């Protein structure tokens, strides 16, 4: 098998040959057919995660079951599958209430154990989500994260309702899908981006108001609040890995509103307690998604409600993993998809 390995933070990935993987009890080897290149992979390469090195990145994946370990049922060799990237115990206090993304013994594919920038990946059987034979596995791959992540934030964390105003800061791989998920849920969407092309995409995906973030930060906040109307926006989704934009999102949220932080940044930003108290506003982190989020966005995609064409325009072989990471970091793409 082939794998792209990160040996040190800030370094290029090495493409290496490794022995074929052997599944143990309750494990499955999946032949990777597609793996999305996500902002989290760029964050990993920079050293943003306390990872285990060397590591094979890649967590946004789909493929075909290649080999099955003892004790595995419900799936057969040759079955097409989506992969859930969080290894979870199924028994702790978080797992027992369905919050498996917050498992107390969590291990993440591509961070704590080898991921899907490879021709094969070894995963726990409980992380396998069967899909339909007619599903496009490149589309399945990006749905598992780029779409399921904002879906989780809007549906599970914020419980958004039709008619709410939702502001989305950043129209990248996550933010563009926050726009279309919010629009599908019947929300009035305000999109914020520095890029005219990305604002145009946001409009195509359902945004009603477009705000250019190329202006002064204070002007951006005022434009958002003016567009949202009296009281300000009830939901603000922050998908940019920037402390400056974190602060803008908090400043923009309306009375009784919620800020949903999805974009990862290790830099601090300032916030005054009085600004939250006076508005009775709250700030929530939203961490990934749960398996049911994947199942639900897959169903919405099959029905034609959610699209992923904007995520599939740049597909590369595994040997170009470094170029795919560079493209994403430079903002040249919303997503690249590696096809081993």
SS3 of 241-305: CCHHHHHHHHHHCCCCCEEEECCCCCCCCCCCHHHHHHHCCEEEECCCCCHHHHHHHHHHHHCCC
By the 8 A CB rule, do 34 and 63 touch?
A: yes
Name the nearest CA neighbour of 236 among 319, 220, 115: 220
CB 273: neighbour CB atoms within 10 A?
7
Contacts within 8 Å (CB) and 24+ apart, 87-91: 87/112, 87/113, 87/123, 87/124, 87/127, 88/126, 90/126
Residue 85 is predicted with a pLDDT of 97
Residue 214 is predicted with a pLDDT of 86
The average pLDDT across 199-204 equals 98
Residue 264 is predicted with a pLDDT of 85
Bridge-partner residues for 15, per DSSP? 4
Residue 162 is predicted with a pLDDT of 98
Residue 322 is predicted with a pLDDT of 98
Sequence-ordered alpha helix ranges (H) in the chain: 39-46, 137-142, 148-151, 175-184, 196-204, 217-228, 243-252, 273-279, 291-302, 321-329
* pLDDT value at 215 more than 90: no
Helix or strand (DSSP H, E) at 193: strand 188-193
Residue 265 is predicted with a pLDDT of 85
Percent of the chain having pLDDT more than 70? Answer: 100
* pLDDT value at 58 more than 90: yes
Residue 217 is predicted with a pLDDT of 72
The average pLDDT across 259-273 equals 92
- The Cα 35–Cα 28 span in angstroms is 17
Residue 144 is predicted with a pLDDT of 98
Residue 168 is predicted with a pLDDT of 98
* pLDDT value at 326 more than 80: yes
* pLDDT value at 16 more than 90: yes
The average pLDDT across 34-63 equals 94
Q: CA 43, 203, 224 angle in degrees (round to 5)?
A: 75
By CB atoms closer than 10 A (0-12, 13-18, 19+), residue 206 is middle
The segment(s) of the chain belonging to CATH 3.90.180.10 are: 2-135+308-339
Residue 48 is predicted with a pLDDT of 86
Q: What is the mean pLDDT of the chain?
A: 96
The average pLDDT across 299-328 equals 97
Residue 36 is predicted with a pLDDT of 98
The average pLDDT across 275-298 equals 97
The first and second tokens of residue 239, run together, are: 């998908």
The segment(s) of the chain belonging to CATH 3.40.50.720 are: 147-285
The average pLDDT across 218-225 equals 94
* pLDDT value at 114 more than 80: yes
Cα dihedral across residues 192, 196, 197, 201: positive or negative: positive
- The Cα 259–Cα 327 span in angstroms is 29
Binned at pLDDT 50, 70 and 90, residue 258 comes out as very high
Residue 231: left (phi > 0), alpha (psi -120 to 50), or beta? left
* pLDDT value at 216 more than 90: no
Binned at pLDDT 50, 70 and 90, residue 49 comes out as confident
Binned at pLDDT 50, 70 and 90, residue 304 comes out as very high
> What superfamily in CATH does domain 2-135+308-339 come from?
Medium-chain alcohol dehydrogenases, catalytic domain (3.90.180.10)
- The Cα 123–Cα 56 span in angstroms is 13
pLDDT tens, 64-111? 999 999 999 989 999 999 999 999 999 999 999 999 999 999 999 999
The average pLDDT across 32-47 equals 94
* pLDDT value at 242 more than 80: yes
> What superfamily in CATH does domain 147-285 come from?
NAD(P)-binding Rossmann-like Domain (3.40.50.720)
Binned at pLDDT 50, 70 and 90, residue 52 comes out as confident
Percent of the chain having pLDDT more than 90? Answer: 95
The average pLDDT across 239-243 equals 94
Residues 6+ apart with CB under 8 A from 10: 45, 46, 47
Q: How far is CA 204 from CA 23, 189, 210, in A?
A: 44, 12, 11
């Amino acid at each position: 098998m082939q794998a792209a390995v990160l040996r040190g933070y800030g370094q290029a990935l090495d493409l290496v040959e490794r022995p074929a993987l052997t599944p143990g009890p309750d494990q499955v080897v999946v032949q990777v057919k597609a793996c999305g290149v996500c902002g989290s992979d760029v964050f990993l390469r920079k050293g943003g995660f306390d990872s285990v090195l060397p590591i094979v990145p890649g967590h946004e994946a789909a493929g075909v079951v290649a080999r099955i370990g003892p004790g595995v049922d419900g799936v057969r060799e040759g079955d097409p599958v989506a992969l859930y990237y969080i290894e979870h115990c199924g028994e702790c206090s978080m797992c027992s209430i369905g919050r498996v993304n917050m498992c107390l013994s969590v291990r993440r594919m591509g961070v704590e154990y080898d991921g899907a920038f490879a021709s094969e990946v070894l995963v726990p059987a409980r992380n396998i989500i069967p899909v339909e034979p007619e599903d496009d596995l490149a589309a399945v791959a990006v749905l598992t994260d780029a779409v399921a992540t904002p879906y989780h934030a809007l549906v599970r964390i914020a419980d958004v309702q039709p008619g709410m105003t939702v502001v989305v800061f950043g129209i990248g791989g996550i933010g563009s899908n926050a726009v279309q998920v919010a629009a599908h849920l019947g929300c009035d969407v305000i999109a914020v981006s520095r890029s005219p092309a990305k604002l145009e995409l946001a409009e195509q995906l359902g945004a009603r108001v477009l705000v250019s973030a190329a202006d002064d930060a204070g002007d951006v906040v005022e434009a958002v609040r003016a567009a949202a109307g009296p009281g300000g926006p009830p939901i603000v989704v922050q998908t940019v890995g920037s402390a400056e934009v974190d602060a803008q999102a908090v400043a923009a949220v309306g009375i009784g509103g919620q800020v949903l932080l999805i974009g990862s940044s290790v830099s601090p930003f300032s916030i005054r307690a009085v600004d939250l108290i006076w508005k009775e506003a709250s700030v929530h982190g939203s961490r990934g998604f749960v398996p049911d989020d994947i199942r639900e966005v897959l169903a919405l995609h099959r029905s034609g409600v959610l699209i992923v064409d904007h995520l599939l325009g740049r597909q590369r072989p595994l040997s170009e993993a470094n170029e795919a990471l560079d493209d994403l970091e430079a903002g040249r793409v919303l997503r690249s998809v590696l096809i081993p």
